[in-house]
Amino acid sequence: MPFEAFVVAQGDRLLRTAYLLTRDHALAEDLLQTALTQAWTAWRRIESQPEPSEIDGHADRTDLWTALGRLPRRQRAAVVLRYYEGLTEPETAAVLGCSVGTVKSQTARGLVALRAALGDLDPNDAELEALGGGTR
C-alpha cells in the first residue's frame, strides 16, 4: 500500500491512538506527525506490516473511551498498546521502556479498572473481549 493511501486509511485510527496515549489533542497531533515522518522514511521496510485494529468497530463507544481515558497514564498506555495496537508484551515493554512484568501488571490493573468502570456491561461483552478483558 502506498504511504499516502496508508495515511488516508489509518490516519483517524492513529490519531485516536495518539490521543488515548496523551489525552491532549495538540500533543496527539504532534505525536502522530512525528510517527508518520519516521514511518515515511522507513516505508519500504514496513509497508507490509500495518494492519487495521480489531477494536476499530467499537471506536464510537463513548463509555469505553471515557473509561480508558480515566486510567492512569502507564495503565492506559499498556492497554492501548497491547489491545488496541496489538503489540506483544515484549514489544509493549520495549515501547514503554520497562520490563515485561511491568507491562503485565499495568495491563492487568488497567483491565480491572475498565471492568469496574464498565460494570453495567456483561463481562462477556464484545467490547471488553476486544480489549482482552472478557471472561474466558
CATH number at residue 106: 1.10.10.10
Residue 43: per-residue pLDDT: 77
For the entire predicted model, the pTM comes to 0.55
Tell me, yes or no, whether 9 and 46 share the same domain.
yes
Tell me, yes or no, whether 64 and 44 share the same domain.
no
Give residues with Cβ within 8 angstroms of 7, minimum separation 6: 36
> What is the per-residue pLDDT across 30-80, written as a single tens digit (0 to 9) for each?
988 888 887 787 777 666 556 444 444 444 467 777 888 889 989 999 998
Beta strands in the chain (DSSP E): none
Tell me, yes or no, whether 134 and 87 share the same domain.
yes
Tell me, yes or no, whether 61 and 48 share the same domain.
no
**Cα dihedral 52/58/63/69 (nearest 10):** 0
Tell me, yes or no, whether 65 and 127 share the same domain.
yes
Euclidean distance between CA atoms 9 and 109, whole angstroms: 32
Please give the tally of structural domains in the chain: 2
What value does the mean pLDDT take over residues 96-109? Answer: 93
> What is the per-residue pLDDT across 109-121, written as a single tens digit (0 to 9) for each?
998 888 888 775 4
The number of helices, as runs of H, and strands, as runs of E, in the chain is: 8, 0
Tell me, yes or no, whether 102 and 128 share the same domain.
yes
Euclidean distance between CA atoms 30 and 88, whole angstroms: 25
Domain residues for 26?
1-52
Query: Residue 52 — left, alpha, or beta (φ > 0 → left; ψ -120 to 50 → alpha)?
Result: beta
Tell me, yes or no, whether 43 and 66 share the same domain.
no
Tell me, yes or no, whether 20 and 67 share the same domain.
no
Residue 67: per-residue pLDDT: 83
Tell me, yes or no, whether 46 and 70 share the same domain.
no
Euclidean distance between CA atoms 10 and 12, whole angstroms: 6
* % helix, strand, coil for the chain, step of 5: 70, 0, 30
